[in-house]
Structure 1
Amino acid sequence: MKRLAGLSAAVLLVVLLAGLGAAQGVADLVERARPAVAIVVARTGSGLSQGSGFVYDARGFLLTAAHVVEGAGEVAVRLPNRRPMLAVVAQTSRSIDVAALRVGEEGLPFIPLAAGRPRDVIGFDDLTVTRGIVSRVLVDQGLLQFDASVNLGNSGGPVLNGRGEAVGIVVGGIRGAAGINFAVLSEAARDVARLALQAPFAPTTPPVVPVQPTPGPSPVPTPAATPAPGEWRLIGSKGPTPRNTEIRTPVNLAIREARYRVEGGVLYVQIELYERPTGDAQIRVFWRLPGSQSPAWVLLYHLASRRFVFGRYAFDEGRRVFRVDPVAVSGIGVSITGSLIDVSVPVAALQPDSPDWEIQVATAYLTPDNLYRGVDWLPWTRIRL
């Protein structure tokens, strides 16, 4: 912690000019946001990694770039006019390069998250102001490109709109190409921020950092008890294998991890891929009763049309393919943010005779012969509703 206090870092604020009619408006916006912008220092096996971050929830939660804290054994943050604080990595996504941190103090000044498509920006590098514009908003990749000055140590800083809300997190630029810098849109980082809110602050234990996956599916034990409402449980995870990283398909549909939770009579399933899905892809979720050889229910989400179908599973013996007999159910939802797919299904839709079910998630893509070919999947896993 003493080493952190002696470090100097350029903390970056990128502020949208749209809606700010005068220089005084920009100055006021910066003055309001500055107390929530932090220096982030991570101690790794190879030394210190340094970047920026910002508080997005007053209860002690910050966002930064994932590469700043990757592999860290200790993380510390320092807000203006405050003592350095130990932090834990509460949630991370390497695919979009965003991590959420938690510190042990509450009542912190914060910058709320917002979605937006920015235009002009100003970059604040310590006390130096640089002006620039947003060159592109890459919605499919969850990124915005801008040309405001970004220097070493700026990764993780916020991009603000005229209301003082964060619409992006700076993640870096192209080496050797001046004025080509990128930020992850806050909308793409929203799930990382939301999941982190459930993480406890435990600085006496090693911080939660991304675990290097092992080849093949990881076995998941059968839940011994009904999960607490809102508690996320692991469905399964997969590391890089020839099947899910080297298979040559028009789209990348390799599954990194899947989890579920039950709250308010709704089953929430979250699937994280290695990259954002594109093209004519299909996301699949199957349910069956323990001991059954065939699924009872299936949900198919078609990425190209952004439509889904939910219903009973049926197998066509003649064509050797399965089909879905649709069932009209209200309250089902599917959304994609970056590489995260969120599915919500009312528990009542499964017509459960038992609290114990098995679930499988999978991905597929449309082949030239107009059939969907499976790309990646996790093994069947028992869950409790």
Structure 2
Amino acid sequence: MIAEVIFTGTELLLGQILNTNAQFLQMELSSLGIDLYYQVTVGDNLQRCVSAIRQAAGRSDMVIVGGGLGPTEDDISREALASALQLELVQDPGALQIVRRFFEQRNIPLSRNNLKQALVPAGARVLDNPVGTAPGIILERQGKTYVLLPGPPNEFKRMINDLVMPFLKEKLAGRTAVIKSRVLKFCGIGESLLDEKLSDLLKSTNPTLAPTANFYEVHLRITAKSVNQVEARELIDAMEERVRERLGSYVFGKDKETLPGAVADAIRENSKTIAVAEGISGGELSALLTTAPGAGGFFKAGIVAGDYGHIRGAGIEWNAIPGDQREKLKTLAKTLREQFDCQIGVAVGGVSEDEVDKAANDYKFFVAADIEGTVMGKELILLGGERIEVARRAATVVLVLLWRYLQQGVKF
């Protein structure tokens, strides 16, 4: 079965709210092997909503519309479906009971506007909404299935779980499939090189592979469709093995595993401990490492300073350290390792007083590390942006450099 989802609401197009219903619904549909090829967002405009429904019906077996079932004039999903299918809107006794029940249980007067929520296209089936005023709608017509659901997430998700999923399982009895995905996460390799190394595998149709670039990471989604979860997982396992044969040294995790977690694992597995000093990264590196499981066993200390010259104690005398900013940071990394009796000392700071190239609005910074007496450093440039985002990106770069050294022996 092929489905298309339409979410209505001008507030979605304006970015005023985040559509959490989308991800939830996508995961539920894939668990039944339902293919979702298109997802559309349309504003509160009747004609555009009618057009979206007709377009969806022309290329899918099922159309799900989320939102637009409220009592106000801009709630137009009922009207749009009726118009798209040239059906009359009629008051449904069951829908009216659902609407009345909500107000009666709360001893609130029923507004005339809410009577609109009892209207359904002729021939439609009403879905109960135990936590809201808007009944859902299922309509089967000319080989197509239409599902209308209210937009509030608590109502939407409950009706999907309790009513829509059982309906679809019954409808697809004997014809259900499973769509499973796994995401492999890479660092130290760019998207273009990954694409080149896996060019033949990317042509696979089942499972399919899809790379996406993130900041200093590349994610590779492997998706398989089969009659059951076991076979889908076997297809994914086989493809993952082929990918790892070529690029396994760049894989730091999969699915919900994170780069900070991978670095923490690498530090523990190598029986090391770490201390860090941060300028441009503003404490983000310490935060990422200390929130990893077992951080108390490997994270010795974190120092955050807007200016290292203000630090007093811990054997750090920044202004007395000879050399330029880069050499000072290398010495600071060594001092951290020695003073906190750990195997890894890391110091991060800008290479100029204000850490920014004002003309280009780019941030230049330097990462220094002393790992068991091996001192290394690397200068990098981050594109300009909000200061907090720059700090997070700087911390991520440091994590990548640490992971590559600890796992691959790549110096920086």
TM-score calculated relative to the size of structure 2: 0.26
Larger relative contact order (Cα-Cα within 8 Å, sequence gap ≥ 6): 1
TM-score calculated relative to the size of structure 1: 0.27
Structure with greater strand share of residues: 1
